[in-house]
Copies of this chain bind each other. A is one copy, B any other.
Amino acid sequence: MSKAIIDDVAARAGVSIKTVSRVVNREQNVRPQTREKVEAAIAELNYRPRHSARSLAANRSFMLGLIYGKPGAHYVLDIQEGVLEICRPHGYELVIHPGEFRDGDLVNEISELILDRRIDGVLLSPPISDHMEAIGLLNEAGIPLVRIAPTIDKDAYPFVETNDLEASFELASVLIGLGHRRIGFITGHPDHRAVGQRFEGYRKALKAHDITFLGELVALGDNLFHAGEEGARQLLSLGNPPTAIFAANDEMAGGVIKASLAMGLRIPQQLSVVGFDDAPISRQVWPSLSTIQQPIRDMAKTATSILLDQLRPGPSDPHPSMHPARLILRESIAKPAKPAA
Contact = CB atoms under 8 A, between A and B. Distances in A.
Interface of A: 1-2, 46, 48-53, 55-56, 61, 63, 73-74, 76-77, 80-81, 84, 91, 93-96, 98, 112, 115-118, 140-141, 225, 251, 254-255, 257-258, 261-262, 280-281, 283-286
B284 A261 contact: no
A281 to B, nearest CB: 6
Which of the listed residues A1, A93, A116 has the most CB atoms from chain B within 10 Å of its own CB?
Answer: A93
A95 B98 contact: no
Contacts of A49: 116
Given A258-B284, A280-B225, A96 B94 contact: yes
A96 B112 CA distance: 19
Contact of A77 (B46, B73, B116, B254): B73
B98 A84 contact: yes
A96 B76 CA distance: 13
A236 to B, nearest CB: 15
Contacts of A284: 225, 251, 254-255, 258, 281, 285
B286 A262 contact: yes
Instruction: Give 8 closest A-B pairs by Cβ, nearest first.
Output: A52-B55, A73-B73, A52-B56, A258-B286, A48-B115, A261-B286, A73-B74, A73-B77
Contacts of A140: 1
A317 B65 CA distance: 32
Q: Counting chain B CB atoms within 10 Å of each CB, which of A51, A94, A225 scores highest?
A: A51
Given A1-B141, A286-B261, A94 B95 contact: yes
A255 B284 CA distance: 7
Contacts of A46: 115
B225 A283 contact: yes
A49 B116 CA distance: 7
A93 B81 contact: no
A262 B284 CA distance: 12
Contacts of A80: 96, 98
A257 B285 CA distance: 9
30 contacts: A1-B141, A2-B115, A46-B115, A51-B61, A51-B116, A51-B117, A51-B118, A52-B52, A52-B56, A52-B61, A52-B118, A53-B56, A55-B55, A73-B76, A73-B77, A73-B280, A77-B77, A80-B96, A80-B98, A81-B98, A84-B98, A93-B117, A94-B95, A95-B95, A225-B284, A254-B284, A255-B284, A258-B285, A281-B284, A284-B285
Contacts of A261: 286
A52 B58 CA distance: 10
A126 B338 CA distance: 52
Nearest to A48: B115
A44 to B, nearest CB: 15
Contacts of A96: 80, 84, 94, 96
Given A84-B98, A254-B284, 18 more contacts: A1-B141, A48-B115, A51-B55, A51-B116, A51-B117, A52-B56, A52-B61, A55-B55, A55-B56, A56-B56, A73-B76, A76-B77, A93-B95, A93-B117, A96-B96, A255-B284, A258-B284, A262-B286
A21 B125 CA distance: 37
Contacts of A112: 48
